[in-house]
Amino acid sequence: MSFRKVNIIILVVAVALFLLVLHHNFLSLNSLLRNEVSDSGIVGLQPIDFIPNAPQHAVDGRQEEIPVVIAASEDRLGGAIAAINSIQHNTRSNVIFYIVTLNGTADHLRSWLSSSTLKSIRYKIVNFDSKLLEGKVKEDPDQGESIKPLTFARFYLPILVPSAKKAIYMDDDVIVQGDILALYNTPLKPGHAAAFSEDCDSASTKVVIRGAGNQYNYIGYLDYKKERIRKLSMKASTCSFNPGVFVANLTEWKRQNITNQLEKWMKLNVEEGLYSRTLAGSITTPPLLIVFYQQHSTIDPMWNVRHLGSSAGKRYSPQFVKAAKLLHWNGHFKPWGRTASYTDIWEKWYIPDPTGKFSLIRRHVEISNIK
């Protein structure tokens, strides 16, 4: 009898030990998975809310989700609203918007979306912590403008959209006239983590290339007098690309640690000043040019018809503008500003701010005030 009791006790202890080991392994696995999703090396990207309502168009639930990432700063919020509205109304695809903001903008954005025709879109608001950029950027007094943290959100796509294999990034100064599904289906070559529109070959650049100097080459963005740049053996005449609209293979992006590579060159620039002193474009472009040198695919040029914000005049024919799949007001003259071109096209997609915080700046307002 006592022998049987001993066996029972041994069995109970063995089962208890087995359950303890199993529980420990489960916690370890759970911790590992949590670290992989959140990327423990990067903090400060926190989802604020998610509204999974059905889009206005009938959407097949079996369709693949199309993640579209847009940065939305307080002073340019109307641009993001117009861009989102144009995308939503020109597709029947299952689009989910990842809208990246800074603290204080989320409530304004949420109220704007909930009180307009966009209240049925699917979106997630993600807060971007500027501390991510500490030691990676520095103010340049020669540029005259302060650093805008949200311009670097595109560097952190796998963290913004952790569960997606592919995503689209676009600036807030765009209007989409085609079906976003076509851009999403851009084929990327094996080993390529992104597809951009090259400056030299774009349909829009051919109209304005004269007198551009080095604006469309690597030498326009990088200081080739620096030894570290020369050691990369990148041809200075290599055509640059525009990072305002691109398609990313996030699986490949993570495999190549693209975010870490970009951060490396940001830090080196702070230490050594690797960017051109006469930077031809955005401060985000140089590290992207280095990391993706001869290692990126291309998107259809009509999906990034740009330079609409380069001057106040109209440089394209009405037929060309109508045929464009995406219009991009890169440059100083934004479509919500006083001297922008093609504002009639942009205003078709703009939704007035119900809070009144954001308003368009127009010439006729000035004239009426003078009277």
For residue 292, the enclosing domain spans 64-346
Q: Is residue 356 part of a domain?
A: no
- From the number of C-beta atoms within 10 Å of its C-beta (0-12, 13-18, 19+), residue 229 rates as buried
Q: Is the pTM of this model over 0.75?
A: yes
Q: Is residue 50 part of a domain?
A: no
Q: Is residue 8 part of a domain?
A: no
Question: In the prediction, which pLDDT does 363 show?
Answer: 62
pLDDT band at 29 (very low <50, low <70, confident <90, very high): very low
Report the pLDDT averaged over residues 114-138. Answer: 92
Length, in residues, of the chain: 371
Nearest to 329 by CA among 351, 346, 317, 350: 346
The CATH number of whichever domain residue 333 belongs to comes to 3.90.550.10
Asked which of 33-42, 125-134, 332-341 is least confident by mean pLDDT, the reply is 33-42
Question: In the prediction, which pLDDT does 212 show?
Answer: 43
- Could you tell me the two tokens for 294? 């001869």
Residue 64 has pLDDT above 50, yes or no: yes
| Distances in whole angstroms, Cα of residue 362 to Cα of each of 189, 278, 332, 333 | 44, 31, 15, 12
Question: 280 in helix, strand or coil?
Answer: coil
Report the pLDDT averaged over residues 151-177. Answer: 97
Q: Is residue 69 part of a domain?
A: yes
- From the number of C-beta atoms within 10 Å of its C-beta (0-12, 13-18, 19+), residue 351 rates as middle
Report the pLDDT averaged over residues 188-204. Answer: 86
Q: Is residue 206 part of a domain?
A: yes
Rg from Cα positions in the chain: 25
Query: How many structural domains comprise the chain?
Result: 1
b/e code 4-15 from CB counts within 10 Å (16+ = b): eeeeeeeeeeee
Percent of the chain residues past pLDDT 90, beyond the cut: 64
Question: In the prediction, which pLDDT does 331 show?
Answer: 87
Strand partners for 96: 67, 122
Residue 320 has pLDDT above 70, yes or no: yes
Asked which of 92-106, 192-206, 216-230, 304-318 is least confident by mean pLDDT, the reply is 192-206
- Longest Cα separation, the chain: 108
Q: Is residue 114 part of a domain?
A: yes
DSSP 8-state secondary structure symbol assigned to residue 26? H
Q: Is residue 303 part of a domain?
A: yes
Q: Is residue 33 part of a domain?
A: no
